[in-house]
Structure 1
Amino acid sequence: MAVPTLIRRLLGKHRSPRNDACIAQFFAQKAQQQGYTLSAGQTRAIAAMARETAHLLAGHATRSLYLHGPVGRGKSWLLDGFFQALPLAEKQRVHFHDFFARLHQGMFQHREQHDALGATLDNLLADCRVLCFDEFHVHDIGDAMLISRLFKALFQRGMLVLVTSNYPPEGLLPNPLYHQRFKPVIDLIAARMDVLEVSSPQDFRSLPQAHATQRFTAGRYVWPGTAAQRAALDLPVTQGPAQHLQVGNRQLLCRHHQARTIAFTFADLCEELTAVMDYLLLCEAFDHWIIDGLPRLAQCPIAVQQRFINLVDVLYDRDKHLILIGNEPLADCLAGQAIDLARTASRLSQLQQTDPQPLPDPVS
């Protein structure tokens, strides 16, 4: 069955020729242009997005959408396409790390007000009617309590929220010590959102056409970082003394910075007490990143692993060019215990691989 025909059937009685067709046709054309075959889960999600777009533009009540599934199955591709095709100016597309960093920052600034969350959302989401929230996950009980208040506030404002996540709602905050305290949010998601699984037997990020448009995928993974490899890529020296770099109100360590290029060691960014807001501020100043000395993550504390995961998330979402230098093959380095490492591995697998040069044959 042709993709547009299947989408039209799934739209059913909610179909509106004017309002939902723009979403369905956009995705059909986008998939065709990029050489993708839409999975059944993607097609159901497109039908749901088209249906809710029709309701929104007609002034009717909407149900928010929660898309979940394994890494690389096209959830962010769907979210970005929906955001692009939605014929509405009052919309925002945000990433989990970016949004929560700014949410915490805003609530601190408004801490003297009776409703610090409401005042912060007034600033962050002024006039917003549709919020596209990418890479949603919850592992920290502090964030979990804030998310509970956040979701209630968004729904009270009548906002259409589109969420993507690697986790089904019942898989959020998996720590058994805290999961039950998050149950009210899971129930709220079930009551106010359509939960749709986006699955496919293939990781779309592994396809050649996924590499055509991103600066991130033009980057490299280099191991073991020999002098010859570094010279071939014209990389700056990172083994020298650290330099102090002012980032916001903090001082971080780096090894080199010039124009829009910045170089760090893994220890500079992940073994020090850095935070997501640091990475976001650095992304405003630098487009080309060099991170040297990726170890075996399994040998690192969980907090160090999580900083690296957060860093890769930010660099990927901001589409920065990355050269990552490791001591061993990438798959060996990425073995670890942190929960979201599968997403990190999927993203880093898109980097071009620079392997060690083979040794010359021995002279007989």
Structure 2
Amino acid sequence: MPDAGTESTARVRALADIRPVVPPTRLLADLVPPRHFADARFATYRANPAYPSQASTVARLEEVGAQLAPGASGRGMRGLFAKRKAVPAIYMDGGFGVGKTHLLTSLAHAVGPDAAYGTFVEYTNLVGALGFQATVDALATKRLVCIDEFELDDPGDTVLMSRLLRELADRGVALAATSNTLPGSLGEGRFAAEDFLREIQAMAARFEVMRVDGEDYRHRAVVTETQPLPADVVAQVAASHPGATLDSLDEVLDHLRHVHPSKYGAMLDDVTLVALTGVHPVSEQSAALRLVVLVDRLYDRDVPVLLAGGQAEGAGAAGAEAAMFTDEMLRGGYRKKYFRALSRLGSLAEDGRALTRTPAA
């Protein structure tokens, strides 16, 4: 690291030094819409008139939200659904950045405290921490369970979640889920929905598929082409920003090996900026997947990121964000996760770059 940042970096703590202790009760308490979507409501979703499916999805979710909202039908709500033979179960399918998470969090906000909200990974982590039956019993107290980023790439976890959803639905809990389709995929949407319905097997007939068409509002292809920042600039900005952390990418990757993914959110409790130096393509699949979870938690909490490339000066023109994963990974079985992480990381990196031009408060 350049001498200019040596003295200032001594005052900056490292993310790799944070070892959170997270009781199971917190995992339950954390099943709420993330900070990034604290203000998300149906009224703030801007449906693109060029894609009518957006407006139709909003209308259907508003209807479900009204059915499930506190006081809508009192204690007779589940009895009402039982007479219809099925509780509401919605699956939103679509590409990256079309607002599915905005809509899912809007639905959770409409239902209020009677809604549980989490990502697929957070629910599987909850089962790991509490046990399956205890998780069912805890979530069965809710009117609605929202699952963002439903993942189909781990057969064991998919079977686990399918069973969890079935037991919750049998207890009268409404369900809503999202997942991603790769941009430019042949039959985008249709195949993703078919994959989802096939993998959840016994639950498939209960889900209503809502297609959300549109383009990535984050414009991932643009933000991931920004140039990496110099390491000394990253160090200096981190040193001047209260609550910042500063590590090399390899230090963070090593640390994530020793922290359960369910604790990544708690690790960021009072972190306001994450600065990484020596950014390079991650070649180990397990390390890359842990990094994806960290990026998701950073995005949930609106934590800006500063990235300094690790290439030799003048080598390559790709941005540091785009260089996080190898080309082989971006073509492999977990590519949906990696593309989602790039989309989110690009957005957070733009927030971080803004701090290099604006003095910290």
Matches of 1:234 and 1:284, distance apart in 2 = 17
SS at 1:349 equivalent: helix
Per the TM alignment, residue 79 of structure 1 is displaced from its structure 2 partner at its CA by 0.9
- Residue identity in the other structure for 2:237: L
1:36 deviation in Å?
Answer: 6.2
Within a 5 Å distance, the mapping from 1:173-188 to structure 2 comes to 183=198, 185-188=199-202
Amino acid at match of 2:116: Q
Given that residues 94 and 134 in structure 1 are in contact (C-alpha distance below 8 angstroms), is that contact kept between their aligned partners in structure 2? yes
Specify the SS of the correspondent of 1:233: helix
Q: How many residues align?
A: 270
User: Contact 2:234–2:308 (CA<8 Å) still a contact in 1?
Assistant: no
Superposed displacement of residue 222, structure 1:
6.7
2:262 to 263, 277, 280: 277
From 190, 202, 206, the counterpart of 2:219:
206
2:322 corresponds in structure 1 to 331
Which position in structure 1 is the counterpart of 2:54?
A: 42
What stretches of structure 1 of length at least 5 have no aligned partner? 1-25, 108-116, 173-181, 208-216, 237-257, 356-364
SS class of match (2:277): strand
Return the letter of the residue paired with 1:171.
D
Give the equivalent residue in structure 2 for 1:289: 274
Matched, 1:105 2:129: yes
Which amino acid is 1:104 matched to?
G
Match of 2:290 among 307, 331, 336: 307
How many Å separate the matches in 1 of 2:103 and 2:49? Answer: 13
Task: Provide the C-alpha distance between the structure 2 equivalents of 1:280 and 1:230, rounded to a whole number of angstroms.
Answer: 23
Give deviations 1:150-200, integer Å, cap 9, x for gaps.
Answer: 11111111111111111524335xxxxxxxxx94x4333421110112111
The answer to whether the 8 A contact 1:83-1:93 is kept is yes
Distance change (3 Å), C-alpha of 1:230 and 1:268: closer
2:33 corresponds to which residue? none
CA contact (8 A) 2:245 2:274 kept: yes
**Cα contact 2:275–2:306 (8 A) shared by 1:** yes
Contact 1:65 1:163 in 2 (8 A): yes
Output aligned runs, 1:1-364, within 5 Å: 27=42, 29-31=43-45, 39-56=51-68, 57-58=72-73, 59=77, 60-61=80-81, 62-86=87-111, 88-107=112-131, 117-123=132-138, 125=139, 127-167=141-181, 168-172=192-196, 183=198, 185-200=199-214, 202-206=215-219, 223=228, 225-227=230-232, 229-230=233-234, 232-235=236-239, 260-271=243-254, 273-274=257-258, 275-297=260-282, 300-327=283-310, 329=319, 330-336=321-327, 337=329, 338-339=334-335, 340-350=337-347, 351-352=349-350
TM-score (norm 2): 0.65
Q: Distance in 1 between matches of 2:61 and 2:164?
A: 22
Task: Name whichever of 273-282 and 160-169 sits farther off.
Answer: 273-282
**Structure-1-length-normalised TM-score:** 0.65
Which structure would you say has the larger RCO, counting Cα contacts within 8 Å and 6 or more residues apart? Answer: 2
Q: Matched residues, percent identical? A: 24
RMSD (CA atoms): 3.2
Q: Extract unaligned runs of 5+ from structure 2.
A: 1-40, 82-86, 182-191, 311-317, 355-361
Opposite residue 153 of structure 1, the aligned amino acid is E
Change (3 A) 1:222 1:122: farther
Distance in 2 (CA, whole Å) between partners of 1:203 and 1:157 is: 36
Alpha-carbon shift at residue 333 of structure 1 (Å): 3.9
Aligned residues of 1:97 and 1:314 also touching (Cα < 8 A):
no
Inter-CA distance 54–224: structure 2 relative to 1 (3 Å threshold): closer
Question: Residue deviations 1:289-343, cap 9 Å, x none?
Answer: 223222023xx12222212212111211232232233335233444431422111
The answer on whether the counterparts of 1:293 and 1:326 sit within 8 Å (CA) in structure 2 is yes
Instruction: Select the structure that is richer in strand.
Output: 1
